[in-house]
A and B are shown apart, each in its own frame.
Chain A
Amino acid sequence: MTQPQSVGVVTPQRLRFTEPLALRSGGRLDEYELVYETYGELNAARSNAVLVCHALSGSHHVAGHYADAPNNIGWWDNLVGPGKPLDTRKFFVIGVNNLGGCYGSTGPASVNPATGQPYGAEFPFVSVEDWVESQARLADALGIERFAAIVGGSLGGMQALSWTLLYPDRVGHAVVIAASPKLSAENIAFNEVARQAILTDPDFHGGNFYAHGVVPERGLKLARMVGHITYLSDDAMAEKFGRSLRHGKQVFSYDVEFEIESYLRYQGKKFAGYFDANTYLLTTKALDYFDPAFEHAGNLNAALAAAQADFLVVSFTTDWRFPPERSREIVSALMHNRRHVSYAEVECAAGHDSFLLDDAQYHGVLSAYFDRIEVR
């Protein structure tokens, strides 16, 4: 057994699509580009492809690093690589930046060919299903008829689930991690606070801030702060920051006093420096709208009847954004439909963000599952 390794230097690729894409919102993209990365080799039978779907602020950069930016390591590098749970000696792994994103795929900051200006507020609403459709076209272009597996955490898990419903015969296995069959009212409420922070920022300019040479930094920062709180657990925050005071005493000001304040402000500011406000709005709405049972009168059993894949569903005990009960709803509905499904409820203290971490139990189950997948 060799030590797990990095996939090393990777290079993003770009594909242009000229067949118009009709979106669930009624909107339409006449042409668009997707940016993606691949790791490992597609085998002769084209049977070893694994699609990794990203979460809210993720991207196509799943593993490895860039030649000119050795510290820019993929967001799931601990999972993907030679000797890692998603072993690139066996699988051909694909990461893709979602439509509407801000890492190179066509999004609100891209130039609208119809106007020659950035799309801004004109960029249509995109849904989880639209992402799946665009990913299916990417798969077509890469000659992949059927994925050995589609995997994702959080919003990525919803995409994996959606794939099994929209393209049941194109997915061998779906790995749905820290996800939910739909958002709760509380989830939507947090998203709404984040959106309001952006929408009411004077620098937002109705979504057309590009033309003004500004970004709604305050709004984005607040949005990220509220989001970040929900990704962690109370225990994780207490362990990392507690009530530590920067000055060792209470100074009665609105400046940074508690370490957690410092951390949130830092994370928020950093995020606002690289993430697109319109992408944040679009993506949180895609989350809110996701509800495959909606068209089945709320009946998840009926909604998941289309799925043909085998499933691994994983949740984390301290995840209060998408707690284990939400994952178990998916499991129940799959079992109702007599699907092959396994469910791991991982004890991990880190809350929703646990899905990004290198937890031994979590990665152990993933390793065991991916090991069993046949790719002949």
Chain B
Amino acid sequence: MTKTSLRYDHEVIAAWIEPGERVLDLGCGDGQLLRYLENSRQVLGYGVEKSPEGVRACVANGVNVMQIDLEKGLAGFEDGFFDHVIMSLSLQAVHNTVGILEEMLRVGREAVVSFPNFAYWRHRQAILNGHMPVGEDLPYQWYNTPNVRFFTIADFEALCEMHGIVIREGLGFDRGELVKEEPNFLASVALYRLGR
């Protein structure tokens, strides 16, 4: 799992988390977000990461990590054990999108997801100009991107609706700034709090 790290992304997520919570971070990369949450929210955190490099980095950073392939689900994690299950900028890199969302809401009271919005106006502009979008939140070329799902804020909300996933809060951002109107057009990154 590859993760670009956005500082504001971490701050918004931290604001949704109460001190002392149990937190699971899926596709945790080098454990940076968990470190941040441990320091700022004193959480008991565990990360899930597939890549050997990420696992080693987490261990080196003193972050609890489980080397598990997310695509295989979260067997071994207890129902409702976590207060928050986070997937920061990784949902677009998972094949089993619905499966993982359901697993998140099985093991956690609340899920937090963030993802790049492919309907962002700059991305639309890139496509109009004949190219796949590349930018701060999509720092890959089409031939080396880890992303396997290309979806928009509108698509994601439709999926939640279809599967009975409750959107408790949704925020859009453009270069770290909160987008108040037309997020599907003006936001490059979306963050959601989800529940049942």
A binds B: yes
The A-contacting residues of B in range 50-79, CB under 8 angstroms, are 52, 55-60, 62-68, 76-78
Contact: A371 with B60, CB < 8 Å? yes
A328 to B76, Cβ gap below 8 A?
yes
B70 to chain A, nearest CB (A): 13
Q: Which of A336, A340, A342, A372 has the most CB of B within 10 A?
A: A342
The answer to the question of B6 belonging to the interface, with a C-beta cut-off of 8 Å to chain A, is: no
Residues of A within 8 A of B22 (CB): 338
- Which residue, A335, A347, A371, has most C-beta atoms of chain B within 10 A? A335
Question: CB distance A336 to B81 under 8 Å?
Answer: yes
In the complex, the chain A residue whose C-beta lies closest to that of B75 is: A328
In the complex, what's the smallest C-beta–C-beta distance from A346 to chain B, in angstroms?
8
Given A332-B76, A336-B78, A338-B44, A345-B56 contact (CB < 8 Å)? no
**B59, A341: Cβ atoms closer than 8 Å:** no
- Report B101 CB to chain A, min CB distance, Å: 21
Query: What is the CB-to-nearest-CB distance from A354 to chain B, in angstroms, rounded to a whole number?
Result: 14
- Give complex CA distance A328, B46 in Å: 14
A298 beta carbon closer than 8 Å to chain B: no
Nearest CB to that of A372 among chain B residues? B62
Q: Would you call B66 and A343 a contact (CB within 8 A)?
A: yes
How many chain B residues sit at the interface, stated as a range, is: 20 to 34
A327 CB to nearest B CB, Å:
10
CB interface residues, A 280-339, toward B, < 8 Å: 312, 328-329, 331-332, 335-336, 338
Contact between B60 and A345, CB atoms less than 8 A apart = no
Chain A residues near B60 (CB-CB < 8 A): 368, 371-372
A205 CA to B44 CA in the complex, in Å? Answer: 57
* Distance A336 CA – B77 CA, assembled complex (angstroms): 9
Flag whether A139 is at the interface (Cβ < 8 A).
no
Q: Which of A312, A335, A346, A365 contacts B46 (CB 8 A)?
A: A335
Also in contact, A365 and B59, with CB within 8 A (given A328-B76, A331-B76, A332-B76): yes
Q: Which residue of B lies closest to A329 (CB)?
A: B76
Number of A-B contacts (CB under 8 A): 54
CB distance from A1 to the nearest CB of B (A): 15
**Is A229 interfacial (CB 8 A cutoff)?**
no
Using Cβ atoms and an 8 Å threshold, which residues of chain B touch A329? 76
Q: How many of chain A's residues have a CB under 8 angstroms from any CB in B?
A: 23
Whether B77 and A332, one on each chain, are in contact in the complex, defined by CB atoms closer than 8 angstroms, is yes
Instruction: Select from chain B the residue with minimum beta-carbon distance to A371.
Output: B60
Q: Cβ of B78 and Cβ of A365 under 8 Å apart?
A: no
A358 to chain B, nearest CB (A): 15
A273 within 8 A of B: no
A368-B64 in contact (CB<8A): no
The reply to whether A345 and B67 contact each other, CB–CB distance below 8 Å, is yes
Assuming the contacts A336-B78, A336-B81, A361-B52, asked whether A331 and B59 have C-beta atoms less than 8 A apart, the reply is: no
Contacts of A371 in B (CB 8 A): 60
A231 at the interface (CB under 8 A from B): no
On chain A, the residues within 8 Å of B56 by CB distance are 361, 364-365, 368
Q: Note all chain A residues with C-beta closer than 8 A to B57.
A: 368
Look across to chain B and name the residue whose beta carbon is closest to the beta carbon of A333. Answer: B76
A228 vs chain B, min Cβ distance (A): 28
| Candidates B64, B67, B76, B77; contact of A340 at CB < 8 Å | B64
User: Is A343 a contact of B67 with CB atoms below 8 Å?
Assistant: yes
Provide the bound-state CA to CA distance between A92 and B76, in Å: 35
Contacts A312-B59, A364-B56, A368-B59; is A342 near B44 (CB within 8 Å)? no
Using Cβ atoms and an 8 Å threshold, which residues of chain A touch B78?
Answer: 332, 336
Q: Which residues of A contact B52 (CB under 8 A)?
A: 344, 346-347, 361, 364-365
Q: Are A342 and B76 in contact (CB under 8 A)?
A: no
A362 closest partner in B (C-beta) = B52
Interface residues of A (CB under 8 A from B): 312, 328-329, 331-332, 335-336, 338, 340-347, 361, 364-365, 368-369, 371-372
Beyond contacts A335-B46, A342-B58, A347-B52: 8 other A-B pairs, Cβ-Cβ < 8 A, are A332-B76, A338-B22, A341-B64, A342-B59, A343-B67, A344-B55, A368-B57, A368-B59
Q: Show 29 residue pairs from A and B whose CB-CB distance is below 8 angstroms, ordered by the A residue.
A: A331-B66, A332-B78, A335-B46, A335-B77, A335-B81, A336-B78, A336-B81, A338-B44, A340-B64, A342-B58, A342-B63, A342-B65, A342-B66, A344-B59, A345-B68, A347-B52, A361-B52, A361-B56, A364-B52, A365-B52, A365-B55, A365-B56, A368-B56, A368-B57, A368-B60, A369-B59, A372-B59, A372-B60, A372-B62
